[in-house]
Structures are given as structure tokens and as C-alpha cells.
Structure 1
Amino acid sequence: MTRKLLVLLAFLLTVTTGLAGCSGGGGGGGQTAGNRGGKGQTDGPVTLKFTRISYNDVRPPSKDLWMWKKYEEKTGIRIEWEEIPGASVSERKNVILGSNNLPDAFYQLGFSNDELIRYGEQGIFVPLEDLIEQHAPNLKKLFQDYPEVKKTLTMPDGHIYSLPYIDSALPYRSIRLYINQTWLDRLGLELPKTTDELREVLLAFKEKDANGNGDPNDEMGWIMPSGTINSMFERQLFGSFGLGNGGLKAAENWIYKDQDGEIKLIFNDPKYKDVLHYLRQLYEDGTLPLLNYSEYEYAKWVSDAANDKVGAFSWGDPAYIGTAGPKNFVGINVLAGPGGDQVVSWMDPMTRGTSSFTITKANPHPEETIKWVDYFYGEEGSMFGFFGIEGETYNMVDGKPAYIDEIQKYEGGQQLGAFQYVDNVYGGYYPYVEPPADLRSAAKGKTVDEDFKTNSAELEKFLPEEIWPSFVPTPEESKEQSAILTDINKYITEMRVKFITGKASLETDWDNYVGTLDRMGAQKYLEIKKSQYERYQSVK
């Protein structure tokens, strides 16, 4: 995964068919309908205008992409694409929405929940629930099989204004603690299974010249580019300290469900104090460098890994750290904590994106449009979006799809090679269902375990009891919780580093920290999150 792709994904996270005659996922081609006349007219082939993010610097424009040419042949629907460079998306999106020149739909262009509610209530975005019920059999079945998807997409006013990006594969929705297996082998150490064992292993890495270069002082323990630790390692540890029930989105919103079924806050919980205490121990051991919090860039980190100085990191796959990752590191899905807690807390819900496709009031053919996109929520459309067509862009080898040689041998790598043909392999958050994990890994010539360097089967065993989305606030809740979190997150960021580095004491300063959070509105924030959870659970 390239650094450019990761930046784009970060941006996208913040804004965080019944086509007659097709086999497979309930889709079909050959439909003809009205052109750009009034709604419901069927006097010729349909032309639709979509606005999306541009990737034209790394692949052909959408109008020339193999996949969209093939899909136009299949459906008889022509798409006129407006493609916006990533750096201009926010500005251009606002200009479009404030104009009278709306596209028929926004494709893979993320909107926040606040934006979905605002433009839905203004009538700019079309409610989709009736269209789905009448014209989208794949989405309808998805909602029936996975009610949590419908719950996640439903706004406080009861409407659905956008379609999801779905991934049910657990390895792709989670991260691992990657530890240097080469160092473990050199020192004769076993793979750690608990937080205490991890501490012992990292200390041995530091003290026993784990890289074998004769310098016992150049090994680092857990290290990543500055700021990454809070969203990666810390949230992984929630599952080892009793804070993991609710999954990743719950952790991002500082909430979890305790053993008694109560929604509680994380940032003022005694168990979060235990997490900070553990991180402080690693810091005192010298195995959690201060670089994790300041002045350590991605390129330097990759270079240090190539020079065999990195002991552990956390990410979805080992290749993020460069070629040293797949070569030297092995993934740990979850560690048992001091109280026996062992939950994969860094687990995204299967609805990984909630605003991958929106239809606007300007669309004269909403029925044809929902049928067009529904195809990609069935098995056939899922395979088409990622692999293309058998015999043209991939062949079946031992029962699994393998890209053609032109893709596999592409000078920019297989991922970019596939991106010259199909859309859903780069950038993420497309309106569709991802293919199963084993097929995606097979495309790289690997099993899932080889791909992620871990035992992926154990993920099911250690799942949270509930995996929540980010609950959708009402406009009033949004304003209130945003104001509270702005102050609270700033304060937590400041105090976290102080607690870990010893500039503040977890023994004598914790009560004042909790009191300050209460004065900033912590209890009001908890009330809001409880109300949102109840509203989420009430969706049928």
C-alpha cells in the first residue's frame, strides 16, 4: 500500500441490481431507458452524470477505463464522469452543492453524517429506502442478512441517503501487532501471547543486541511514525484491558459496553488508566521511544526497518513498513491482558464506509441509477469490480482468480496493474461488497495467512460481542458533541503524553484529570452517546 494511498484513505475516513438478464448477484444487462428527459421517461438510452474523485495521475480516466466501457456495454447506460483531484474535493464539493448544476449522483465521494443529514433534509439528496425496496434486490438482501448495515445507514429522520462500502472479511477490517520474528529467533524467544510477555520480549530486544550488529543500543521496541500510536497500538490495547467491546468505531468515539451491558466512557475509566500505566512501563523500559509522539516521519521509519532497527509496530498488513515487513515480521491478532481480557478491539464494522454513493434531486432516472449500482452489491458485481471478467482480466487457477500477466507484471506493481482495468482495487470506499478475503489474497499468489503473516482463523474467536458503527447524531447532538470533543480530545492529547513520560502522575494527578474531563462535558457526552445507541438499536 503506497503512502499516497494511505493519505487518500485518511481523507476519505474523515468525511467518514436488478439489471434484467444477469446471472449471479441478481443483476442483468441490456436495459434501455429514457435519456436526460424528465423522470420516468424511457425514450432512449440513459445518460447519467456522476461526480467522483480523480485517479487520473495513476490510471486512465473513468470514461476510458476498461471496466466502465464493459459495464456500459452490459447495461446500455452511459456515464459522464466529472473527476475531481483529491486535494480539491472539499472545495469543489461545496461549490457543486451550492449551485444549480448538480450531478445525478456522487460516486465514491465521501460525505460526513452531518452533510448527509443536512443535504437530505434540504432535498438535495434523494431518500433511497423505497428505491432499494423496489429496485435493488442485492441491497435489499444485504439489509435482510445483515440488519446492522441498514441501521448504520439510517439517519435520525428515518431516511437512507447514501449507500455503503461493505467488507465482511475480518483480516481486512482489523490490524495486528507485528513483531520482529527474526529477532525472536535470534534470541531464542517465543511469540508473546500476553501484554506482560510483550513487555519482556521488547526489553530483550533492546538489551540483547537483537539485530546482531554488535551495537546493543540501536534497537527500538514498538515504533511508528509520530502520532500513529494513539490510533493503532493504544486502541489495540483496549481489548487487552477490558475496553474492547464495541470495536474500533466505539474506541474512536471513546465508548465501550461493559460486562453489565452499560455504555461507558473510555477516557476516564480506571481501565484506561491501566492502559496508560502499561504504556508508561514500556516508556520507562526504553522500548516505547518518545519518537512515537513527535518528529518521526514515515520515510525515516521505513529506512530504520530496512536497517533492522524496528522491533514491533501495528498495522493491517506487514508491507506498510516496506520490504522488511513481510520478510521479518509476524502478526499477533490480540494479546491477553493482566485480567485475562482478550478481544480484538481494533475491528471495523463490515459497513466500512457509509457514503459511497448518493443520488441527487437532479437525477431524472433514479430507478435506473439504483439498479445500475445495485449490481455491485451482488456476487457477480463484486467480482467484476475487483477482478474484471474471466478470460479477459483474470483466469481461474486452482479454483481461484489470478490476474492476467499484463496486470501481474505491471511495472508499478500488481495493484496499479489491476487499476488500469478495474476500479475497485485502489483508494477504497467504493459502493460495493468486497470479494472474500481468500480470493483477494489469491490474486497476490498467497493464502490469507501468508498475506497477513498471521493466524487469521483466530480472529473469529476473539471478536467483540458487538461491533458498532459511528452512531449518527441529530444536528443538535452533532453541534453539542463536537464542541465537547474539541476540548476533551485536546486535553487528552496533552495529558496522555504527560502520563506516559512521567511529567504527570497516574497516582496523584488522575482524579484531577477525571474532574477536568467532567467539567468539559464528559457526562453530557456520555448521555448523547447512550441516546444515539438506543436510536441505532431501534431501527428495524
Structure 2
Amino acid sequence: MKPTSKGRFLFVFMLAAAMMLSACTGGGNEADGSKGSSSEKGNASGNKKVSISMFDRGQVSSDEGTYEENRWVKWIREQSGIDVKMVPVPRNEAQSTLNVMIASNQAPDLIWEFDRTYIGRLVSQGVVQPIDEYIEQYSTSYKKYLEENPELKAHLTFDDGKMYAVATKRPITAVANHGMWIRQDWLDEIGMEKPKTLDELIQVAQAFKEHYPDSTPIVGPTTADIYAGLNAAMSTQWYLEDGQMKYGATLDRFRDAIALEKQLFDLGLVDKEYFTDSNNQRANQLWTTDKAGIWMFQWGSGQVDLMMKDLLTNVPDAEPVPLESVETVNGKHGLYQEAIPHIYVAFNKDMKDPETAVKYLDWIVDQGWFTLMNGEEGVHYTKSGDTVKRMDTDKYNKEVLYANEYAVLKQMEVKPEDLIEQAADDELSQRLATLSAEALETALKNEFRRDIPYQPNFDEINEIRSTLDTFIRETRATTVTQGEKYTADWAIEEIRKEWTRLGGPEAEKIAQQWYEDNKANF
């Protein structure tokens, strides 16, 4: 008998959960010794309580405190009137960490992710609960927001027709995701133009290697996804091929992405150790110390600004500029861009006080997000009309940037030129903002191929992915690093065989039926 996804989930994570529990006292909530979800109807002082997950990106300096306790958490509690408990999870291990918390009854009341598929798995496993009635009964601000943005509803509704998450629309600064950067000064030195095709990109990288022999021409933590995006074959995304739903990892185009990855490795144009550079420190160091000519990362963000600042501080004459998508044998496609919803916030089924959770989210979407994104007026920014202008970039990065993690719902509308207007007036901040604005326009110039607005959620593919994703990573690593014996053709055949072994053909039938049933709503 085939195990249910819930059974599979518990089986996979109970050992890890047991290890976590052994480190806790009393087997209950780490902060207060209670068991299960940490929310209660009220505490001794009469305050409402709610707990919420958030991503730990390592951005809180020691003198600011921790992600759990700092000036902004204190401010949130004071302004919202709710005793909020922040539950950090490492960004690069967020889902696995949350899974352990869920299996051990340690999960917070509100669980969020950028990944709709992950929330869908929690729906299938019975971890989170429908929220339609809560929004209708308790909400004012978010209910109004959803009425004004009805296109969000389909993304928040799952297979049983009920809503399981809240989300706000992404500003274009969050729609744009992946990007490429290139050293214009290096191009000028070797007398070459920005590459427009894949062949030209490789030629430029080879010229960089010849002219700067100590360099690693191409670095960055998103290289594999960028290769896939250029070929319109993201390994975890479904595509419509002649009206038929096909999984990206099984397509010929994904083979082409692996072939590109292997070619660049064999030519010595990428870091030989990038498969083990799990925290991206090596890639970032190569870029910021004048040892790399092409950086595959994001179009921009606080972290990108920090990396660019480090580069320009170390190499004042450096001229990093955004690089547009290049054309491949599969056409010209934009790099990865996000879907309309920003962050999916779901409600733990064990939550004791959904009313307080809704009130907290209403406060965030109505007013709390603005301060968490911008800081304190007169200290971190000045305002003229609707324009918010940063006063000191370094001060903002240290004292406010990490608070962005708490703004899980926000009503932001951003134009590229706003980035320049909002930046501090010093020369470096203006230069970085100008680069970010140009990079944003570049990242959005070519449309990312997204055949369906959101990915289907069903147990069969969720179970397959738990094994297939790891298999793909291992197969890519073998193909890329282990010499000519392992080709991209070998890799795609191995992936297809594993896909079939795991039940992929049946998943395709289910995905096709899902598409036929839902396409009228797209």
C-alpha cells in the first residue's frame, strides 16, 4: 500500500525531530516550555500572543541584538499591541528546519515561505488550515486589500477550493529575481562588447581567463538556475509542451542547461569548488576582490548592494554593470522572475488564537510594513510627498535592513527611478542605486517563461520531488565534475529513468488533468 504524504513526512523527519527534542528541556516550546503551537488567548498581562517564522540571513549585528529580540521586535510589540515571538530559520535550510519543527510540535503559529509548492505540501499533509472564515470574521485591512487585488485569490486557494495563506502583490523589485553582472572595465581592457549570445558569453569568459590568468571568469550562487532560465527549463517547474504538461527536469532543454554547466566547468571558466560553496562565501569573495568578471546572482537587493559596495571599496576603478539575458539554441528568455504573490503566510492547524494572528497581519499590511522597510523618519529616512529618501546607507543596512524580514505583508509600488530618489545623497550610494535601477530594468527586459501562473500541488509530485530534487543535484555534480565519461545526454537519461521509477508518468497525467480543470481560471 502506498504511504500517504503525511505518513511519508512523519517518517522522514521523526529522527531529526527526535534529535531536536533531545536538545530541548521538557519536550515543549523552547521559549516558554509549553507544548505545541506557542499562541495563547492571552497571557498574564492580558496581551495577545502569536508566533511567526522568519528567515535568518545573518544580518543582525551583535550590538543590534538577535532576530528574536531587537529594537524592531520591541517596536512591533508596542505598536501592534501583540506579544509577537519571532522564530528564525536559516534561509538556506528554511524548509528542512520548519519540517523538523512541525514534526516535533515546535512550529510557530504563522509559517511563511516564498514557495507556493512548499505551502501546498503543508496543505496536503494537514499541517496548515483553511483561513477563509478567519479573514471574513476577523479581518478589516487584509480583507479590503484582497478585494482590491482579486487576482491574488487563485494563488492562495488550493485544491479543495479553500484559502490556506495570505499574501500581498510583489513590487517589481521583488518580481525581478536573478540577474547577471559583468565588469565593463574588463571588457574595455580586452576590447570586447557585452555578449548577446551564449557563444559570445563563452568567448568573453575565455578572453577574461586569458587576460586575467588568476581570475575565475564566472562566479555566483545562482549559476545553475541561470543556465536553466536561459534555456527555459527550470528543473522544478511544469511547462506546456504542445498543450501537454511536462516537468522541466525531463525536457531536452534541461539537458542543454546541464551541457552548458559542464562546458563552462571543463573550460575552467567557473570555480572548481562551487558545488561545495554552500554559503556562497567563496563566490562573493572572488567577486569583491577583483578575481571575477561575471557574477550570476540577483538583479539587486540589500545583499547585492553590500557586495557591490565591497567591490567598489576594494577596487575603486571597477565598473560592474548589469548583463542582459543571452540567446541560446532555445531562444532568448528572461532569467527567473517571481510570480505575483510575494510571501505565502499560512496558519498552523494547532494555532490557538487565529483572531490575534489575523489582527497582527492586518496591522502589518495596514501600517507596520512601512516602518519595517524604511526605518524611523528623521533617523533613517526623510520624506517628501510619497518619496522616501535614505539618509545614511550604512546606518540603514545595519539598523533596518534585517527588519525587512518581519514585513511579511506590504503594499509597495516601486519604479526603477524610485531607487535613485530613495538612496542617500553620498556619491557611492547614488552610484549603487543607479546600478540597481539599471539592473532592475535589465532583469525585466526579457520575459521569463512561465507557462502557468502557479505550479500544481498534489501528493504524487510532492512525494517525487522529495527524492528527485536530490537526485538531480547529485547527477548534475557527477556530470559536471567527473570528466568526459559523464555527458549531458547521460544525465538527462538518468533523470528521466529516475522520474519514471518514482511515478513521473502518473504525475504527468494528474498534472494534465489539473491543467484542464484549472486553465479557465488562469
> What is the TM-score with the length of structure 1 in the denominator?
0.68
Hey, what's the Cα distance between the residues in 2 that align with 1:186 and 1:137?
59
Cα distance change on mapping 1:118 and 1:272 into 2, 3 Å:
closer
Within a 5 Å distance, the mapping from 1:217-296 to structure 2 comes to 217-224=213-220, 228=221, 232-241=222-231, 243=232, 251-258=234-241, 260-294=242-276
Q: Report how far residue 315 of structure 1 moved.
A: 0.8
Q: Report how far residue 393 of structure 1 moved.
A: 5.0
Cα distance change on mapping 1:428 and 1:344 into 2, 3 Å:
farther
CA RMSD of aligned residues (A): 4.4
Q: Name the counterpart of 2:10.
A: none
1:344 partner letter = G
Alignment size in residue pairs = 458
Q: Name the counterpart of 1:132.
A: 135
Q: Name the counterpart of 2:462.
A: 478
Q: Name the counterpart of 2:122.
A: 116
Hey, what's the Cα distance between the residues in 1 that align with 2:198 and 2:419?
32
SS in 2 for 1:116: helix
Q: Report how far residue 449 of structure 1 moved.
A: 6.0
Q: Report how far residue 502 of structure 1 moved.
A: 2.2
**CA contact 1:171–1:437 (8 Å) conserved in 2:** no
Cα distance change on mapping 1:158 and 1:429 into 2, 3 Å:
farther
Cα distance change on mapping 1:148 and 1:291 into 2, 3 Å:
farther
The answer to whether 1:338 aligns with 2:364 is no
Within a 5 Å distance, the mapping from 1:481-520 to structure 2 comes to 481-483=465-467, 485-487=469-471, 490-498=474-482, 501-506=483-488, 514-515=496-497, 517-520=499-502
Q: Name the counterpart of 1:373.
A: 361
**CA contact 2:159–2:457 (8 Å) conserved in 1:** yes
**CA contact 2:174–2:342 (8 Å) conserved in 1:** no
Structure showing the higher helix proportion among its residues: 2
Q: Name the counterpart of 1:436.
A: 414
1:482 partner letter = S
Q: Name the counterpart of 1:9.
A: none
> Which of the residues 392, 401, 414 maps onto 2:388?
401
SS in 1 for 2:400: helix
Q: Name the counterpart of 2:27.
A: none
Cα distance change on mapping 1:493 and 1:96 into 2, 3 Å:
closer
Hey, what's the Cα distance between the residues in 2 that align with 1:56 and 1:472?
40
Cα distance change on mapping 1:527 and 1:313 into 2, 3 Å:
farther
Within a 5 Å distance, the mapping from 1:327-476 to structure 2 comes to 327-339=318-330, 341-355=331-345, 361-363=351-353, 366-367=354-355, 369-378=357-366, 380-388=367-375, 390-391=377-378, 393-396=380-383, 400-403=387-390, 408=393, 410=395, 414-418=396-400, 424-425=403-404, 427=405, 430-434=408-412, 436=414, 438=416, 439=418, 442-445=421-424, 446=430, 450-452=434-436, 454-464=438-448, 466=450, 471=455, 473-475=457-459
2:217 partner letter = G
**CA contact 2:177–2:338 (8 Å) conserved in 1:** yes
Q: Report how far residue 223 of structure 1 moved.
A: 2.5
Q: Report how far residue 506 of structure 1 moved.
A: 4.7
Within a 5 Å distance, the mapping from 1:161-200 to structure 2 comes to 161-164=164-167, 166-170=169-173, 173-200=176-203
The answer to whether 1:106 aligns with 2:110 is yes
Unaligned 5+ residue runs, structure 2? 1-39, 313-317, 425-429
Hey, what's the Cα distance between the residues in 1 that align with 2:514 and 2:139?
28
Hey, what's the Cα distance between the residues in 2 that align with 1:151 and 1:179?
39
Hey, what's the Cα distance between the residues in 2 that align with 1:372 and 1:520?
42
After superposition, the C-alpha distances for 1:180-237 in whole angstroms (9 at most, x for unaligned) are 2120121222111221221121121122x24xxxxxx22322124xxx4xxx233323
Q: Report how far residue 368 of structure 1 moved.
A: 5.5
Q: Report how far residue 536 of structure 1 moved.
A: 5.8
Q: Report how far residue 161 of structure 1 moved.
A: 3.0
SS in 2 for 1:290: coil
After superposition, the C-alpha distances for 1:230-275 in whole angstroms (9 at most, x for unaligned) are xx2333233433x25xxxxxx24143234x4433233332223333
SS in 1 for 2:295: strand
Hey, what's the Cα distance between the residues in 2 that align with 1:375 and 1:488?
42
**CA contact 2:82–2:360 (8 Å) conserved in 1:** no
**CA contact 1:113–1:472 (8 Å) conserved in 2:** no
Q: Report how far residue 431 of structure 1 moved.
A: 3.5
SS in 1 for 2:457: coil
Cα distance change on mapping 1:345 and 1:523 into 2, 3 Å:
farther
> What is the TM-score with the length of structure 2 in the denominator?
0.70
Q: Report how far residue 390 of structure 1 moved.
A: 4.1
Hey, what's the Cα distance between the residues in 2 that align with 1:200 and 1:265?
32
Hey, what's the Cα distance between the residues in 1 that align with 2:503 and 2:476?
13
Q: Name the counterpart of 1:247.
A: none
SS in 2 for 1:204: helix
Q: Report how far residue 126 of structure 1 moved.
A: 4.8
After superposition, the C-alpha distances for 1:326-357 in whole angstroms (9 at most, x for unaligned) are 54421123112235x22214112232432366
2:436 partner letter = F
Q: Report how far residue 469 of structure 1 moved.
A: 6.7
SS in 1 for 2:364: helix
**CA contact 2:175–2:340 (8 Å) conserved in 1:** no
**CA contact 2:179–2:439 (8 Å) conserved in 1:** no
Hey, what's the Cα distance between the residues in 2 that align with 1:371 and 1:335?
47
Cα distance change on mapping 1:433 and 1:257 into 2, 3 Å:
farther
Within a 5 Å distance, the mapping from 1:302-341 to structure 2 comes to 302-316=284-298, 317=300, 318-319=304-305, 321=307, 323=309, 325=311, 327-339=318-330, 341=331
After superposition, the C-alpha distances for 1:485-529 in whole angstroms (9 at most, x for unaligned) are 55555445434545xx42224568865764565345443343344
Hey, what's the Cα distance between the residues in 1 that align with 2:355 and 2:134?
7
SS in 1 for 2:438: coil
Hey, what's the Cα distance between the residues in 2 that align with 1:315 and 1:517?
29
After superposition, the C-alpha distances for 1:462-498 in whole angstroms (9 at most, x for unaligned) are 2236375763534455335534555555445434545
Q: Report how far residue 391 of structure 1 moved.
A: 4.7
Hey, what's the Cα distance between the residues in 2 that align with 1:57 and 1:159?
43
Q: Report how far residue 134 of structure 1 moved.
A: 5.1
SS in 2 for 1:362: coil
